[in-house]
Structure formats: C-alpha cells, structure tokens
Amino acid sequence: MQPAERALAGSGTPSARRERSWIFSLLIAPEAVISVGLINGGLSYLLRDEGVDPARAASIVALLTLPHAIYFLWGPVTDFFVRRRTWLLLAAALAALTLLLAFHEPRLASARGVALLFIAACIGVVVPAACGGMMGTLRSEVSRRRAGSFYQVGSLTFGAIATFLVVSFSGRLSLFAIGCIIAVLVALPALSALATPAQPLLTGQGAGQTALLMWREFKSTFLCWQAIPYTLLVTFPMCSGGMLGLLPELARDYGVSGSAVAWINGVAGALLTTLGALAVSLIPVRVRASVAFLLAGLANAASLAILAIGPLRPFVYYISTVLFLFTIGACYALFTGVSLEFLGSSGKSGSTRYAIINSLGNLPVAYMSWADGRGYAHWGPRGMPATDAVLSTAGAALLLAHFIFSRRKRSGGH
C-alpha cells in the first residue's frame, strides 16, 4: 500500500471551486451532534444528574461509541442502490427520530434508553460513510484537502455546540425537550445534502465483476506489509479523544460548576478544537502525516498528565482541558491525513475502504473510554486522565520510533 499520488494540476480551476468543499462541514453535522456532542460530550453529564456512577457512565459511553468501530459492516451500503446524499438524508432523519424516542424515556440510563441511543448511533454512522464516499469523488487535490479540513472543523464545531446546549439546559428543561433540541441539530444540517453535486452510483458492471474489483482494491490497501504500521497507527490509544466524553463529569471532582463546564466544553471547546484543527495547516508538507499525528498524540497525553498530577482544583481542570481540546483538534485533523495515506487511490470502493479505516480509527475511542472509566474506579479522579496519558504515551512513542526509523532507513538508501 502506497500513499495516494494525486495531481495538483487544475486545483485552482472553476471546476474545483464548483465542488463546494465547504459543504462537508455541514454534511458531517448530524453524526457530529450524536457522537461528539451527545455521546462523547453531554451524555455523561446527563447520566450523573440521574445519579449514575461515573464508572458505569463510562461503560455506557464506551458501548455507544462501539458503532464507530464496527460500522464497516453496514457503512459500505452507501456505495449502492441510491445516491450517497440520499443515504445521508435518510440516516439523519431516522437517527433524529430514534433520539426523540430515547429522550422520551424517563431515564436515559434505563435499558430501553441505552438501547435506543445505541440504535441512533448505529444509524448515525451511515453519515460519515456517505461523506467519505463523496469526498473520494472530488476531482482535484485541493478540493480533497479542503473537504477534509472542513469535515473536521464541522465535526468538532457542531459537536461542541451540542455539548454546550445539553449541559446548559440540563436541569432547566425536561429530558424530552433536550432531546428535541438534539434531534433538530441532527436533522436540519443534513438538508445541505440537497446542495451537493450529484454523486455517481456504482453501476455498469455485474455483481461478480464489482465484487472482484472491490476485493482487489481491498487487498491493495489492507493485505500488504505496508498496511501493518498504518493499522496500528489508527488503532493504538493515542489521539483517541476518549476523555472528551468524560471531562464534563470529571469536572465535579475538581470543583468546577456546571455553567463553567458548559462553556469550556461547549462554545470555548468548539473554538479550541477548531483552532487546533486549523493549526495543522501550519505544519510543513515535508513532515509526514503519520509523524505529525504521533507528535500531536504525545502533546495530547501531556495535557492529561497535568490533570493527573495536579491538585483537585478548578484552575488545574481549566488549564488541562484547554490544552487537551486544542491538541485533540489537531489530532483529529491529522487523522484525515493519515487515513488518506492509508487509503491510497479511491478507485471504485472508496466509501467501503474509508468506512473500514474510519471504523478502525474509532475503535480506540470505545476501548479508551472503558479503560479511563476503570482508571476512575480503581484510582479515583486522577486515575482517569492518568490511564489515558500513560497508554497514549506508550503507544505514540513506540510507533513514532518506527516511523522515524523507517524514514531514516529510506533516506540512507538514496
């Protein structure tokens, strides 16, 4: 597997401008509201208001992040039957309806409430699958790069706004009213899909020929020696963002008020993560995306180390959270670059392979949320960020040594 080699020629043409890369900041919004804003944002705060123990809340969050790790099982459907933008619209509408049913339950932590949230999460991940396929059809390199940037900025921004609203209205509005707000945030931005250029369907070949072609592309990406370090890169603990959904509930242990949590993990959080994502553009092109990703992971782990070793005071929470949100924004933006290196050429199965890579990349979110919860259960408030920091540092250091060594080895051969 080799990184994609796409020509830059024509990147400034009117054709590139008509591809509307900016629209991906809206297309990803439905999934961002569900995963970043609710599941990994305000849900733990709502659960603690219901009296749910932080360790159990972490387990619920980990369960609800699981669809991101396995949606390669159903995400590839967006390559078939109807256009990808139609899949996106259907997924957003069904997810919004399911969320309304979940928030209509007396308790979100009930078996039925968690089951409905899980179903909504499973439906919601169809959105990034559709987005990945649509990004793969962009013809110019500049459009792809801009689309990836807008994709991350939109995800982080809409997710943070949803977190702010959930935490702000917790205790002030009924659970169902909060659910209505979330449902609107999921469904409304999806209408932007109507403004996207028409996406081609995977047609013109028989089922057998199509399956054979997709299998060949699958092998060229995943079943080769070069795929091993990239597979480890996207599945190791660093840059997981597992603490995103746990920081709001951890705030109480550091004496931080609910309004402060809403601001720092909401509006301010949106700004910080967006700035972190935009800061990636300042990294020189000669720095490999894989190396930059791992360095950002070490910086992100260091921000959690402050929370782990500092006193249980609000100022420690503020400093650590600000640094964490900025660095995780950079991590998420760099993950797009890593994914493109892993994917190679888009071919006919770009949406399918993107779903697989993105699923693998979201696996650490699930297991790190669970591991961080175990850290709290065994060692208290400091144990949660400490667990994340230690595992992330170990994984990033190991892979960074490999990528730097492999770069030097290739350089020495010239």
Q: Where are the domains of the chain?
A: 19-198+228-412
Q: Is the pLDDT of residue 101 over 90?
A: yes
d(CA 10, CA 6): 11
For 14-73, what is each residue's pLDDT tens digit?
A: 445 567 888 999 999 999 999 989 998 889 889 988 888 888 898 898 899 888 878 888
Within 10 angstroms of residue 354's Cβ, the number of other Cβ atoms is 26
Residue 189 CB contacts under 8 Å (≥ 6 apart), including other chains: 26, 27, 29, 30, 92, 158
DSSP helix/strand/coil, 170:
strand
Token pair recorded at residue 312: 């249980």
Q: Is the pLDDT of residue 317 over 90?
A: yes
Token pair recorded at residue 93: 């509408």
| CA gyration radius, the chain | 21
Q: Hey, which of 36-40, 242-246, 251-255, 304-308 has the most confident mean pLDDT?
A: 304-308
Q: Distance from CA of residue 287 to its chain's centroid? A: 23
Predicted confidence at residue 8, as pLDDT, reads 35
Q: Is the pLDDT of residue 9 over 70?
A: no
Predicted confidence at residue 2, as pLDDT, reads 42
For 125-181, what is each residue's pLDDT tens digit?
A: 999 988 887 887 776 656 666 777 788 888 878 988 898 899 889 888 999 999 999
Q: Hey, which of 94-108, 234-248, 249-263, 363-377 has the most confident mean pLDDT?
A: 94-108
Residue 242 DSSP one-character state: G
Q: Are 37 and 362 in contact (CB under 8 A)?
A: no
Mean confidence (pLDDT) of the chain: 84
Among 123-137, 178-192, 398-412, which is the least confidently predicted range? 398-412
Token pair recorded at residue 16: 């590139």
DSSP helix/strand/coil, 211:
helix
In 170-288, alpha helices (H) = 175-190, 207-222, 227-235, 247-250, 258-265, 267-279
Q: Is the pLDDT of residue 233 over 60?
A: yes
The residue with greater pLDDT, 1 or 311, is: 311
* Domain 19-198+228-412 CATH assignment equals 1.20.1070.10: no
Q: Return the C-alpha torsion angle 108, 179, 245, 362, nearest 10.
A: 100
The residue with greater pLDDT, 324 or 13, is: 324
13 confidence band (pLDDT: 50, 70, 90)? very low
Provide the whole-model pTM: 0.73
Q: Which residues of 120-142 are buried (b: 16+ CB within 10 A; e: fewer)?
A: bbbbbbbbbbbbbbbbbbbebbb
Q: Hey, which of 260-264, 289-293, 384-388 has the most confident mean pLDDT?
A: 384-388
d(CA 196, CA 203): 20
Nearest residue to 388 via CA among 400, 370, 402, 401: 370
Predicted confidence at residue 129, as pLDDT, reads 87
